[in-house]
């Protein structure tokens, strides 16, 4: 029975977090991002301020003698410490400046944090909505806690919250208010807590910013939550300056023209470290399934950064990540820009892994780098514009494996044009395809594609319209377990050019040798790559 997959750029958080132990021991700690970028260092639990959760690599399985500082001041306590995730309470010594984690005498890079005033509230299943919302006397319902927030306030949801109770607009949380610049409203899971809003059956939405008078609804942080819904678990209509971090998002019954995570006319969105999976009903007989996607930024959504996520549609829906702006009139539609898609693991998608359908890089960057994609439909799909764009979509240092296998359609590792002429610049990418798969779809416009130092293997030699091709087995660590890091002796090592992408998927600094490596992983040059721990509940999908 023939497998039918389509690909683009796939990045899996489980794989990210399960890097080879031998590599982690030799590399310094690396911070990728934090949930909060600002908060108070007083108030809240024991008067010691907000908790900030830090995501990255090589922090160590336990804290031991490792330290965390904010602005040079030691944090007060860290109730959660793992190799990839640390949560610490600021405490009075924390100051405005960089968050830094030090392990074994090696300091991480810094990410900025601002200490500023703000109230801290708590919600617990054991609380009461007549309480003041303190740690000692918490609220009972998330909606009550949400309604108490003013700009700059933080709401922690405690362990055991599991509710599908409707707030408004068929959503568990209807966010019809705003924070302010530098003073976001934040709804965050307490460190280590399991918090679930919604279920697969109901409601229609878990978190919703509606298109009603008074908007746009801006300056929110949504972090660490489990979001479930029958249609769209997270819907951001007209949302601006949202930070969506570390959530687990699923919509097993999603169908029709929607998405499990949907931003419409959304601006300045950071979508970091989320696990979006099982998005869409498995119903091949329904034409509507093609219209449902895992993550979708639609009409006029710009200034979007999508990084460090795991996106796994599995049997449902169509595209893993799509940017598509529906025209509102003549000359509109191809207008999405300032889009950065990086360090994501995307796999098991019926349709495209990443689809840049209606972009205009002449207005601002459109880029995809450090993504790992396997078993998806088309690979990078930049789309096109009939207007002829003056800048290029940048596709750099991605690793694609087993993409474009849905051979009954126009599919391949990548497609570069469907409606005109959009420029695409490719460098340092790996295309490892299986027999019968093709690097580029037959509809691709090769005249608009430039680039060099890409590696092609499995589907004959690389295309002649690119220069400096490496046509060789990249020597992945283990394709059976989908460990697509490089082994010693790989022809991808030191075979790239300077792409300007200075860290790899694992946070390893580039270059480690004489030149950049090709692909999403820089060979660290220490030890032979070992098999990572496989992500839990990973399922392959066969589309018949």
Instruction: Give the DSSP H or E segment for 355.
Output: strand 354-356
Instruction: Give the DSSP H or E segment for 142.
Output: helix 142-148
pLDDT score of 420: 54
pLDDT score of 328: 58
In a domain, 97, yes or no: yes
Question: What domain range includes position 74?
Answer: 41-115
Q: How do 476-478 and 483-486 pair as beta strands?
A: antiparallel
pLDDT score of 392: 82
In a domain, 416, yes or no: no
Q: What total of structural domains would you count in the chain?
A: 1
In a domain, 490, yes or no: no
The reply to whether omega before 216 is within 30° of 0 (cis) is yes
d(CA 26, CA 428): 25
| Concatenated DSSP letters of 375-407 | S-SSSEE-B--TT--SSEEEEES-EEES----T
In a domain, 287, yes or no: no
Mean pLDDT per 10-residue section of the chain, whose length is 544 residues? 38 33 66 99 99 98 97 98 99 99 97 99 99 99 99 99 98 98 99 98 96 95 98 97 99 91 97 96 67 91 98 87 76 83 94 89 95 79 39 91 65 62 89 87 77 94 93 98 98 98 98 98 69 37 26
In a domain, 223, yes or no: no
CATH of the domain at 90: 2.60.40.10
In a domain, 485, yes or no: no
Residues ≥6 apart with Cβ < 8 Å to 111: 31, 33, 34, 54, 98, 99
In a domain, 492, yes or no: no
Q: Is 168 exposed, middle or buried (0-12, 13-18, 19+ CB in 10 A)?
A: middle
Residues 397 and 367 sit within 8 Å (Cβ to Cβ): no
In a domain, 99, yes or no: yes
pLDDT score of 180: 99
């Amino acid at each position: 029975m023939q497998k039918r997959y389509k690909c683009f750029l796939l990045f899996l958080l489980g794989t990210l977090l399960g890097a080879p132990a031998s590599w982690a021991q030799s590399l310094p700690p690396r911070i990728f991002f934090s949930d909060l970028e600002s908060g108070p260092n007083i108030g809240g639990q024991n008067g010691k301020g907000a908790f900030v959760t830090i995501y990255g690599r090589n922090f160590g399985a336990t804290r031991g003698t490792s330290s965390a500082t904010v602005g040079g001041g030691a944090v007060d306590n860290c109730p959660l410490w793992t190799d990839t995730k640390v949560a610490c309470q600021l405490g009075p010594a924390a100051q405005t400046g960089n968050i830094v984690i030090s392990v074994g005498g090696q300091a991480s890079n810094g990410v900025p944090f601002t200490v500023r005033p703000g109230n801290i509230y708590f919600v617990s299943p054991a609380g009461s909505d007549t309480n003041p919302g303190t740690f000692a006397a918490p609220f009972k319902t998330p909606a009550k806690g949400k309604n108490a927030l003013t700009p700059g306030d933080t709401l922690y949801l405690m362990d055991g919250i599991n509710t599908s109770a409707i707030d408004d607009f068929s959503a568990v949380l209807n966010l019809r208010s705003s924070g302010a610049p530098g003073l976001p409203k934040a709804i965050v899971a307490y460190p280590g807590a399991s918090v679930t809003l919604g279920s697969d059956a109901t409601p229609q939405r878990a978190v919703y910013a509606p298109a009603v008078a008074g908007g746009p609804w801006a300056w929110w942080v949504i972090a660490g939550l489990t979001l479930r819904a029958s249609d769209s678990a997270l819907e951001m209509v007209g949302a601006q300056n949202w930070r969506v971090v570390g959530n687990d998002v699923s919509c097993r019954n999603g169908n029709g023209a929607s998405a499990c995570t949907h931003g419409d006319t959304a601006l300045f969105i950071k979508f970091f470290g989320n696990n979006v999976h099982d998005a869409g009903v498995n119903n091949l007989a329904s034409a509507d399934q093609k219209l449902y996607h895992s993550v979708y930024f639609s009409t006029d959504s710009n200034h979007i950064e999508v990084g460090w996520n795991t996106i796994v549609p599995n049997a449902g829906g169509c595209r893993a990540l799509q940017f598509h702006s529906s025209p509102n009139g003549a000359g509109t539609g191809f207008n999405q820009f300032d889009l950065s898609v990086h360090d994501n693991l995307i796999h098991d998608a019926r349709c495209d892994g990443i689809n840049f359908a209606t972009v205009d890089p002449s207005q601002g960057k459109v880029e995809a780098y450090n993504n790992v994609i396997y078993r998806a439909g088309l690979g990078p799909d930049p789309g096109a514009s009939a207007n002829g764009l003056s800048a290029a979509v940048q596709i750099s240092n991605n690793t694609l494996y087993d993409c474009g296998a849905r051979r009954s359609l126009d599919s391949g590792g990548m497609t570069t044009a469907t409606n005109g002429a959009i420029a695409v610049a490719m460098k340092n990418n790996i295309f490892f395809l299986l027999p019968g798969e093709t690097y580029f779809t037959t509809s691709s416009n090769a005249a608009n594609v430039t680039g060099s130092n890409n590696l092609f293997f499995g589907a004959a030699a690389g295309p002649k319209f690119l220069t400096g091709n490496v046509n060789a087995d990249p020597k992945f660590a283990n394709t059976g377990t989908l460990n697509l890091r490089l082994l010693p002796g790989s022809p991808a090592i030191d075979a790239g050019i300077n792409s300007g992408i200075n860290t790899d998927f694992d946070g390893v600094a580039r270059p480690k040798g004489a030149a950049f490596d090709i692909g999403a992983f820089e060979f660290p040059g220490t030890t032979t790559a070992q098999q990572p721990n496989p992500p839990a509940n990973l399922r392959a999908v066969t589309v018949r």
